[in-house]
Protein backbone atom coordinates (compact mmCIF):
# COMPACT_ATOMS: atom_id res chain seq x y z
CA UNK A 1 0.00 0.00 0.00
CA UNK A 2 2.80 2.33 0.92
CA UNK A 3 4.49 1.51 -2.37
CA UNK A 4 1.37 2.61 -4.25
CA UNK A 5 1.27 5.87 -2.30
CA UNK A 6 4.90 6.56 -3.19
CA UNK A 7 4.23 5.74 -6.83
CA UNK A 8 1.18 8.00 -6.89
CA UNK A 9 3.14 10.80 -5.23
CA UNK A 10 5.93 10.47 -7.77
CA UNK A 11 3.42 10.44 -10.61
CA UNK A 12 1.74 13.56 -9.23
CA UNK A 13 5.09 15.34 -9.04
CA UNK A 14 5.80 14.32 -12.60
CA UNK A 15 2.38 15.60 -13.67
CA UNK A 16 2.96 18.96 -11.99
CA UNK A 17 6.13 19.28 -14.04
CA UNK A 18 4.23 18.18 -17.12
CA UNK A 19 1.58 20.82 -16.57
CA UNK A 20 4.27 23.49 -16.56
CA UNK A 21 6.16 22.23 -19.60
CA UNK A 22 3.83 19.81 -21.41
CA UNK A 23 6.91 17.89 -22.46
CA UNK A 24 7.13 14.99 -19.97
CA UNK A 25 5.72 12.47 -20.63
CA UNK A 26 5.59 12.97 -24.42
CA UNK A 27 2.24 12.73 -26.15
CA UNK A 28 1.98 9.28 -27.76
CA UNK A 29 2.05 9.23 -31.55
CA UNK A 30 -1.06 7.04 -31.58
CA UNK A 31 -2.98 9.82 -29.87
CA UNK A 32 -1.63 12.58 -32.10
CA UNK A 33 -2.64 10.56 -35.16
CA UNK A 34 -6.28 10.59 -34.10
CA UNK A 35 -8.50 12.72 -36.39
CA UNK A 36 -8.80 16.27 -35.13
CA UNK A 37 -12.55 15.91 -34.73
CA UNK A 38 -11.89 13.20 -32.10
CA UNK A 39 -10.90 15.92 -29.65
CA UNK A 40 -13.74 18.35 -29.13
CA UNK A 41 -11.68 20.15 -26.48
CA UNK A 42 -8.08 20.09 -25.19
CA UNK A 43 -9.30 17.81 -22.40
CA UNK A 44 -9.87 15.12 -25.01
CA UNK A 45 -6.13 14.55 -24.97
CA UNK A 46 -6.09 14.07 -21.21
CA UNK A 47 -8.51 11.14 -21.27
CA UNK A 48 -6.12 9.04 -23.33
CA UNK A 49 -2.78 10.34 -22.12
CA UNK A 50 -2.92 10.03 -18.35
CA UNK A 51 -4.41 7.78 -15.64
CA UNK A 52 -7.52 8.99 -13.83
CA UNK A 53 -5.87 9.90 -10.51
CA UNK A 54 -3.79 12.65 -12.17
CA UNK A 55 -6.19 13.58 -14.98
CA UNK A 56 -8.15 16.00 -12.77
CA UNK A 57 -5.12 18.13 -11.96
CA UNK A 58 -4.12 18.38 -15.61
CA UNK A 59 -7.70 19.14 -16.64
CA UNK A 60 -7.88 22.01 -14.16
CA UNK A 61 -4.62 23.50 -15.44
CA UNK A 62 -5.75 23.34 -19.06
CA UNK A 63 -9.25 24.57 -18.28
CA UNK A 64 -8.01 27.64 -16.43
CA UNK A 65 -6.00 28.77 -19.44
CA UNK A 66 -7.63 27.33 -22.53
CA UNK A 67 -11.22 26.19 -21.99
CA UNK A 68 -12.47 29.77 -21.52
CA UNK A 69 -10.68 31.02 -24.62
CA UNK A 70 -12.85 32.91 -27.14
CA UNK A 71 -14.22 31.31 -30.28
CA UNK A 72 -13.55 32.77 -33.70
CA UNK A 73 -16.20 32.58 -36.41
CA UNK A 74 -14.55 34.55 -39.20
CA UNK A 75 -15.87 37.79 -40.64
CA UNK A 76 -14.52 40.77 -42.58
CA UNK A 77 -13.03 42.73 -39.67
CA UNK A 78 -9.27 42.01 -39.52
CA UNK A 79 -9.04 43.52 -36.03
CA UNK A 80 -11.29 40.76 -34.66
CA UNK A 81 -9.06 38.11 -36.25
CA UNK A 82 -5.87 39.77 -35.03
CA UNK A 83 -7.17 40.13 -31.49
CA UNK A 84 -8.31 36.50 -31.42
CA UNK A 85 -4.98 35.03 -32.51
CA UNK A 86 -3.18 37.31 -30.04
CA UNK A 87 -5.46 36.10 -27.21
CA UNK A 88 -4.82 32.46 -28.12
CA UNK A 89 -1.05 33.02 -28.08
CA UNK A 90 -1.38 34.60 -24.63
CA UNK A 91 -3.39 31.62 -23.39
CA UNK A 92 -0.60 29.24 -24.36
CA UNK A 93 2.21 31.02 -22.54
CA UNK A 94 1.73 29.55 -19.04
CA UNK A 95 1.19 26.02 -20.39
CA UNK A 96 3.98 26.04 -22.97
CA UNK A 97 2.51 23.40 -25.25
CA UNK A 98 4.74 21.94 -27.98
CA UNK A 99 4.23 23.88 -31.21
CA UNK A 100 2.47 21.09 -33.09
CA UNK A 101 0.05 20.47 -30.20
CA UNK A 102 -0.89 24.16 -30.04
CA UNK A 103 -2.47 23.95 -33.48
CA UNK A 104 -4.58 20.94 -32.50
CA UNK A 105 -5.74 22.82 -29.40
CA UNK A 106 -6.61 25.98 -31.37
CA UNK A 107 -8.70 24.31 -34.06
CA UNK A 108 -11.76 23.47 -31.88
CA UNK A 109 -12.19 27.21 -31.21
CA UNK A 110 -12.81 27.89 -34.91
CA UNK A 111 -16.56 28.00 -35.52
CA UNK A 112 -18.91 29.01 -38.32
CA UNK A 113 -17.20 30.39 -41.41
CA UNK A 114 -13.77 30.01 -39.79
CA UNK A 115 -14.39 26.31 -39.21
CA UNK A 116 -15.46 25.91 -42.84
CA UNK A 117 -12.30 27.72 -43.95
CA UNK A 118 -10.11 25.36 -41.95
CA UNK A 119 -11.92 22.32 -43.32
CA UNK A 120 -11.13 23.57 -46.81
CA UNK A 121 -7.45 23.82 -45.85
CA UNK A 122 -7.14 20.38 -44.24
CA UNK A 123 -6.92 18.39 -47.50
CA UNK A 124 -3.85 20.43 -48.45
CA UNK A 125 -1.96 19.76 -45.22
CA UNK A 126 -1.48 17.03 -42.66
CA UNK A 127 -1.34 18.71 -39.27
CA UNK A 128 0.05 15.65 -37.49
CA UNK A 129 2.43 14.24 -40.10
CA UNK A 130 3.86 17.61 -41.08
CA UNK A 131 4.02 18.91 -37.51
CA UNK A 132 2.56 22.27 -38.53
CA UNK A 133 3.53 24.88 -35.96
CA UNK A 134 1.40 27.64 -34.54
CA UNK A 135 3.47 30.18 -36.49
CA UNK A 136 2.69 28.33 -39.72
CA UNK A 137 -0.98 28.17 -38.79
CA UNK A 138 -0.89 31.87 -37.95
CA UNK A 139 0.54 32.69 -41.38
CA UNK A 140 -2.26 30.76 -43.10
CA UNK A 141 -4.83 32.35 -40.79
CA UNK A 142 -3.61 35.89 -41.48
CA UNK A 143 -3.49 35.29 -45.23
CA UNK A 144 -7.20 34.55 -44.98
CA UNK A 145 -8.38 37.14 -42.46
CA UNK A 146 -5.73 39.85 -42.70
CA UNK A 147 -4.72 39.81 -46.40
CA UNK A 148 -1.29 40.98 -47.44
CA UNK A 149 -2.69 44.00 -49.30
CA UNK A 150 -4.36 45.23 -46.11
CA UNK A 151 -1.23 44.47 -44.09
CA UNK A 152 0.77 46.62 -46.51
CA UNK A 153 -1.71 49.47 -46.11
CA UNK A 154 -1.52 49.25 -42.30
CA UNK A 155 2.26 49.28 -42.53
CA UNK A 156 2.19 52.38 -44.76
CA UNK A 157 -0.23 54.04 -42.33
CA UNK A 158 2.21 53.32 -39.52
CA UNK A 159 5.21 54.86 -41.27
CA UNK A 160 3.24 57.90 -42.45
CA UNK A 161 1.68 58.63 -39.04
CA UNK A 162 2.45 62.11 -37.66
CA UNK A 163 1.26 64.06 -34.64
CA UNK A 164 -0.96 66.67 -36.27
CA UNK A 165 -3.75 69.05 -35.35
CA UNK A 166 -5.09 68.58 -31.85
CA UNK A 167 -3.62 65.09 -31.46
CA UNK A 168 -1.88 64.78 -28.09
CA UNK A 169 1.40 62.96 -27.49
CA UNK A 170 -0.55 60.25 -25.69
CA UNK A 171 -2.95 59.82 -28.61
CA UNK A 172 -0.11 59.78 -31.12
CA UNK A 173 1.84 57.14 -29.17
CA UNK A 174 -1.26 54.94 -28.78
CA UNK A 175 -2.08 55.20 -32.48
CA UNK A 176 1.50 54.29 -33.33
CA UNK A 177 1.37 51.20 -31.12
CA UNK A 178 -2.03 50.23 -32.53
CA UNK A 179 -0.79 50.37 -36.12
CA UNK A 180 2.58 48.81 -35.37
CA UNK A 181 1.63 46.06 -32.92
CA UNK A 182 1.37 43.49 -35.70
CA UNK A 183 4.83 44.40 -36.96
CA UNK A 184 6.86 43.89 -33.77
CA UNK A 185 10.12 44.18 -35.69
CA UNK A 186 9.59 47.93 -36.06
CA UNK A 187 9.95 48.24 -32.28
CA UNK A 188 12.93 45.90 -31.87
CA UNK A 189 15.55 48.61 -32.45
CA UNK A 190 14.86 51.05 -29.62
CA UNK A 191 17.17 53.75 -30.97
CA UNK A 192 15.47 53.66 -34.36
CA UNK A 193 12.10 53.69 -32.64
CA UNK A 194 13.09 56.80 -30.65
CA UNK A 195 14.33 58.58 -33.78
CA UNK A 196 11.05 57.92 -35.58
CA UNK A 197 9.00 59.02 -32.56
CA UNK A 198 10.92 62.30 -32.21
CA UNK A 199 10.72 63.12 -35.92
CA UNK A 200 6.97 62.48 -36.05
CA UNK A 201 6.06 64.71 -33.10
CA UNK A 202 4.81 68.23 -33.71
CA UNK A 203 7.77 70.49 -34.42
CA UNK A 204 7.46 72.60 -31.27
CA UNK A 205 7.60 69.45 -29.12
CA UNK A 206 10.20 67.51 -31.11
CA UNK A 207 12.60 70.48 -31.10
CA UNK A 208 12.57 70.50 -27.30
CA UNK A 209 13.80 66.89 -27.26
CA UNK A 210 16.61 67.22 -29.80
CA UNK A 211 19.22 68.50 -27.36
CA UNK A 212 18.67 65.61 -24.93
CA UNK A 213 20.32 62.20 -25.09
CA UNK A 214 17.70 59.64 -24.12
CA UNK A 215 18.69 56.07 -23.34
CA UNK A 216 15.21 54.53 -23.45
CA UNK A 217 12.00 55.15 -25.35
CA UNK A 218 10.10 55.52 -22.07
CA UNK A 219 12.35 58.39 -21.00
CA UNK A 220 11.77 60.14 -24.33
CA UNK A 221 8.02 59.55 -24.16
CA UNK A 222 7.82 60.93 -20.61
CA UNK A 223 9.85 63.98 -21.67
CA UNK A 224 7.51 64.60 -24.63
CA UNK A 225 4.50 64.46 -22.30
CA UNK A 226 6.21 66.94 -19.95
CA UNK A 227 6.99 69.35 -22.80
CA UNK A 228 3.41 69.17 -24.04
CA UNK A 229 2.08 69.85 -20.54
CA UNK A 230 4.40 72.84 -20.18
CA UNK A 231 3.11 74.30 -23.45
CA UNK A 232 -0.47 73.88 -22.30
CA UNK A 233 0.22 75.55 -18.95
CA UNK A 234 1.95 78.49 -20.63
CA UNK A 235 -0.90 78.86 -23.06
CA UNK A 236 -3.39 78.80 -20.20
CA UNK A 237 -1.49 81.50 -18.31
CA UNK A 238 -1.43 83.73 -21.39
CA UNK A 239 -5.15 83.31 -21.86
CA UNK A 240 -5.95 84.29 -18.26
CA UNK A 241 -5.08 87.94 -18.87
CA UNK A 242 -7.00 88.17 -22.11
CA UNK A 243 -10.50 89.64 -22.10
CA UNK A 244 -13.16 87.92 -24.17
CA UNK A 245 -13.76 89.59 -27.54
CA UNK A 246 -17.33 90.46 -26.64
CA UNK A 247 -16.12 92.37 -23.58
CA UNK A 248 -13.48 94.24 -25.58
CA UNK A 249 -16.10 95.21 -28.14
CA UNK A 250 -18.45 96.38 -25.41
CA UNK A 251 -15.77 98.65 -23.90
CA UNK A 252 -14.97 100.15 -27.29
CA UNK A 253 -18.63 100.85 -27.92
CA UNK A 254 -18.99 102.48 -24.50
CA UNK A 255 -15.97 104.67 -25.20
CA UNK A 256 -17.47 105.80 -28.50
CA UNK A 257 -20.70 106.87 -26.85
CA UNK A 258 -18.77 109.01 -24.37
Does 34 score more than 50 pLDDT? no
Q: How confident is the model at residue 36 (pLDDT cuts 50, 70, 90)?
A: very low
Half-sphere exposure of 122 (CA within 13 A, CB side): 14
Question: What is the C-alpha to C-alpha distance for residues 4 and 2, in angstroms, rounded to an integer?
Answer: 5
Angle at 90 between CA 89 and CA 95, to 5 degrees: 90
More confident residue, 135 or 69: 135
Nearest alpha-carbon partner for 128 in 92, 110, 104: 104
Tell me the average pLDDT across 139-167.
Answer: 91
Does 57 score more than 70 pLDDT? no
Burial class (CB in 10 A: 0-12, 13-18, 19+), 224: buried
96 contact partners, CB below 8 Å, separation of at least 6: 20, 21, 22, 23
Amino acid sequence: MMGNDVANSQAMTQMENTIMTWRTPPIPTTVLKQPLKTFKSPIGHCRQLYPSFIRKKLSQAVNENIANAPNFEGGPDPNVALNWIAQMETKFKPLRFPEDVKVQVVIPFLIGDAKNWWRSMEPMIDVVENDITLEEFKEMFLDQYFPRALRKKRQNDFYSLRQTGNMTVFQYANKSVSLGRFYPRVFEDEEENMDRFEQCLREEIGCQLTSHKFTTFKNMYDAALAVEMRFKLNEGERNIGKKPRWMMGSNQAAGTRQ
